[in-house]
């Protein structure tokens, strides 16, 4: 990830054993452990980097050694109770060094550096945490954007991003109610809470995260994993039987599936990314839902895929910074650059402009992003309304901030209706 690759791309490759030199595929337990170590480190990367700079002001090389130290420092500087006792952490870090020919010579250095951290932890931490990147574990520009946008909430937003997110389920309405599924969960030794609020009628928040293979009836389609905020999308769009619905940025199909759980509608699901688009069909098959028409296409270029028949509903779950789900993907904050936000906002605007003419008069378009930057949310919606006299804003949540309701991710929703007297 420090070289610029997302964890979602890197981890499966490692665990499939395609690493150079070839290594055996990892067991499920090893995969889980590697992912947990990565996540914990990235949630504390600002802090770990600041500590490393204090302990060793010169550059550490090779990069693998720097990565190993960042993992160890992130874990060693967590508040108590820490996941590993100090001696285990030092021992394992030195062992990891010994296992790599390029790092073998650094065993003494790693041992001494980690012991120094442990001996002077309080003082070093106090010094490191004076820097915002170390305190909030996000890049400085990201912290600034949040502080400007949400003067009262930015700190709680960042503090929540430091905690592992809850695992939330959406019970397939065609299978049964959430109460029925809760019984199945309890019979399997799991427990969950039913969050209140409009649009969350099928949601269950697990008391502890588990592998999907442990979820009762997962393979036969009783349930999906989907954050509470994301579950509002299909409900807000309110599809009805026989309607033509466009899901413009659909992969891997979480919201496509929810639309089909709610109504026997006719869905065209697009995604520009072929590998991701292929997952939409898998999602629908697992859930035993009617198929959607899936196409790999650029939603911003309807000339390439639209047959000229207007849609009753359009879901634009637009590509975005994903700043609202940074606790689920703690690598994103470190991979994004400040200039990405304006580029993403331009893409979102282009998609809105391209899709609006495809909506029939009286139809609805839902604009959604999993962002908490106003450039991708409220500002986008306001400028869209200013440009389109035939658009009406319907009631929608607007900006959802996780601070107000910890089980929710940061999301933005605007719902537009096309005036019934407008010409398509
Ligand atoms: C936020 S994700 C969609 C998540 C999906 N709606 C779900 O609930 O499972 C955004 C998706 O938009 C796709 N995308 C980005 N730009 C696109 C474009 N111009 N046309 C079609 N798809 C696009 C990306 O490949 C990505 O899969």
Q: What is the pLDDT of residues 143-174, one digit of tens each?
A: 999 999 999 999 999 999 988 899 999 999 99
Please check the confidence at residue 16 and state whether its pLDDT lies above 80. Answer: no
- Measured from the Cα of 247, ligand 1's closest atom is 6
Q: Which pLDDT value is given to residue 18?
A: 56
Whether the pLDDT of residue 22 is over 80: the answer is: no
- Can you name the residues that pair with 169 across neighbouring β-strands? 204, 225
158 to 142, 226, 245, 369: CA distances (angstroms):
10, 22, 36, 18
Output the average pLDDT for the chain.
Answer: 95
Distance CA 85, CA 64 (A): 23
pLDDT confidence band for 30 (50 / 70 / 90): confident
Convert the pLDDT of each residue in 219-267 to its tens digit. Answer: 999 999 999 999 999 999 999 999 999 999 999 999 999 999 999 999 9
From the CA of 298, how far away is ligand 1's center (Å)? 10
**Ligand 1 within 6 A of CB of 270:** yes
Whole-number Å distance, alpha carbon 317 to ligand 1 midpoint, is 7
Residue-wise pLDDT for 369-390, tens only, equals: 999 999 999 999 999 999 999 9
Mean per-residue pLDDT, 408-418: 96
What are the tokens at 126? 């106090």
Mean pLDDT of 54-83: 96
Residue numbers annotated as active site: 370
pLDDT tens, residue by residue, 347-373 = 999 999 999 999 999 999 999 999 999
Nearest by Cα to 261 from 281, 282, 290, 236: 290
Looking at residue 422, its pLDDT comes to: 76
| Residue 218: per-residue pLDDT | 98
Q: Pairing between strand 293-296 and 266-271?
A: parallel
CB of 299 sitting under 6 A from ligand 1: yes
Query: Is the Cβ atom of 300 under 6 angstroms away from ligand 1?
Result: yes
Q: Tell me what pLDDT residue 17 has.
A: 61
Q: Is 251 in the pocket of ligand 1 (CB under 6 A)?
A: yes
What domains are defined for the chain?
44-134 (1.10.940.10), 168-225 (3.30.70.1170), 229-418 (3.40.50.150)
Distance of CA 310 to the CA centre of its chain: 31
Using omega within 30 degrees of 0 as the cis cutoff, is the peptide bond preceding 62 cis? yes
Q: Are the C-beta atoms of residues 372 and 403 closer than 8 Å to each other?
A: no
Average pLDDT over residues 188-196: 96
Residue 414's pLDDT is 98
pTM for the model stands at 0.94
């Amino acid at each position: 990830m420090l070289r610029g690759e997302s964890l979602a791309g890197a981890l499966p490759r490692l665990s499939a054993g395609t690493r150079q030199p070839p290594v055996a595929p990892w067991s499920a337990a090893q995969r889980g452990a590697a992912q947990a170590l990565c996540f914990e480190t990235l949630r504390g990367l600002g802090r770990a980097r600041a500590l490393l700079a204090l302990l060793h002001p010169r550059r550490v090389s090779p990069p693998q050694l720097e990565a190993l130290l960042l993992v160890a420092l992130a874990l060693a500087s967590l508040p108590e109770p820490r996941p590993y006792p100090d001696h285990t952490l030092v021992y394992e870090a030195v062992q990891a060094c010994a296992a790599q020919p390029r790092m073998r010579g650094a065993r003494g250095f790693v041992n001494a550096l980690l012991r120094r951290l442990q001996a002077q932890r309080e003082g070093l931490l106090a010094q490191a945490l004076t820097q915002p990147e170390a305190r909030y574990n996000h890049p400085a520009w990201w912290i600034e954007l949040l502080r400007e946008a949400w003067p009262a909430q930015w700190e709680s937003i960042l503090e929540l991003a430091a905690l592992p997110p809850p695992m939330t389920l959406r019970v397939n309405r065609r299978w049964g109610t959430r109460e029925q599924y809760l019984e199945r969960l309890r019979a399997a030794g799991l427990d969950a809470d039913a969050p209140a609020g409009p649009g969350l009628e099928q949601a269950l928040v697990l008391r502890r995260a588990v592998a999907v293979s442990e979820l009762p009836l997962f393979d036969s389609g009783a349930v999906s994993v989907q954050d509470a905020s994301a579950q509002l999308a299909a409900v807000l769009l309110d599809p009805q039987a026989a309607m033509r619905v466009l899901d413009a940025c659909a992969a891997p199909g979480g919201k496509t599936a929810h639309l089909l759980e709610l109504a026997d509608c006719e869905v065209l699901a697009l995604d520009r990314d072929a590998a991701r688009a292929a997952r939409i069909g898998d999602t629908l098959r697992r859930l035993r839902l009617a198929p959607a028409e899936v196409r790999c296409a650029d939603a911003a270029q309807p000339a390439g895929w639209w047959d000229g028949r207007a849609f009753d509903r359009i879901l634009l779950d637009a590509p975005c910074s994903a700043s609202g789900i940074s606790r689920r993907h703690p690598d994103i904050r470190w991979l994004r650059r400040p200039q990405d936000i304006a580029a993403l906002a331009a893409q979102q605007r282009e998609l809105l402009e391209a899709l609006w003419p495809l909506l029939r008069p009286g139809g609805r378009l839902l604009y959604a992003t999993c962002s908490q930057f106003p450039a991708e949310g409220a500002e986008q919606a306001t400028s869209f309304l200013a440009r389109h006299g035939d658009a009406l804003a319907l009631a929608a949540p607007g900006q959802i901030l996780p601070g107000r309701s910890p089980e929710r991710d940061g999301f933005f929703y605007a719902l537009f209706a096309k005036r019934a007297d407008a010409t398509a």
